[in-house]
Amino acid sequence: MDAAFWHQRWQDNLIGFHQADINPHLQSFWPRLGLNPGDAVFVPLCGKSRDMLWLGVRHPVLGVELSPIAVEAFFAEAGLVPRHGQECGFSVCEADRLRLLCGDFFDLVPQQLEAVRGVYDRGALVALPPQLRGRYVERLNDLLPAATAMLLVTMEYPQAEMPGPPFAVEEAEVHRLFADRWSIEPVYEQDVLATEPRFRQRGLSRLNERIFVLRRSAG
């Protein structure tokens, strides 16, 4: 699964993973991170998530997204006219407290995230196939300042019943990926299949949503 795959998905508008509404769990569990209002928040593989609008009322938001279609659509659908620029090989679009970098997450450098104190991952880890998840977490560890907190949303389902993305990520894998550098607190688990007809139509027999609060050690 390479850049061409995601560019084609956005070009063909195959974005069933996009949520039109702000995630209610973000509103419920975000305060548990204990961030200050001025703390910057990082949203990896952000797409055109409306969750960034909710976060942007409370924090400066930095998102990174591969597809320029997604970046432009985010601002257009929010009724915002962004300023455009360049930074470290990324195209930059920004308006108000929302700053989106268009390019490859793996090309980011730590200086771009030095003000970040919180991370919101609802669509990044589950977008990646198993062979890329370890690399993604390693890169997060390299990029993020110490003492960063994260709200992580995953889903669990029988992977054989549906090809990703989004992919199933079991709780055991979350611990395997993060436990050496982060504390992990499960805060929510719910079978959501009854409220997700698009996944029932794809043949799933079970769909659990899980939410974790992760805290990176300052040491």
CATH of the domain at 46: 3.40.50.150
pLDDT at 8: 73
Does residue 10 belong to any structural domain of this protein? yes
Shared domain check, 149 and 108: no
pLDDT at 19: 64
Last residue of a domain, one of 82, 102, 118: 118
For 141, residues 6+ apart whose C-beta sits below 8 A from its C-beta are 181, 216
Task: For residue 147, count other CB atoms closer than 10 A to its CB.
Answer: 11
Shared domain check, 144 and 58: no
Tally of domains in the chain: 2
Last residue of a domain, one of 85, 118, 151: 118
pLDDT at 120: 98
Last residue of a domain, one of 55, 85, 118: 118
Where in the sequence is the domain holding 51, given as residue range(s)?
1-14+39-118
Shared domain check, 103 and 5: yes
Q: β-strands 208-216, 182-191: how paired?
A: antiparallel
How does pLDDT run along the chain (219 residues), one tens digit per residue?
466 765 576 565 555 554 667 888 999 999 999 999 999 999 999 999 999 999 999 999 999 999 999 999 999 999 999 999 999 999 999 999 999 999 999 999 999 999 999 999 999 999 999 999 999 999 999 999 998 999 999 999 999 999 888 999 999 999 999 999 999 999 999 999 998 888 899 899 999 999 999 999 765
Does residue 26 belong to any structural domain of this protein? no
Shared domain check, 207 and 105: no
Shared domain check, 6 and 96: yes
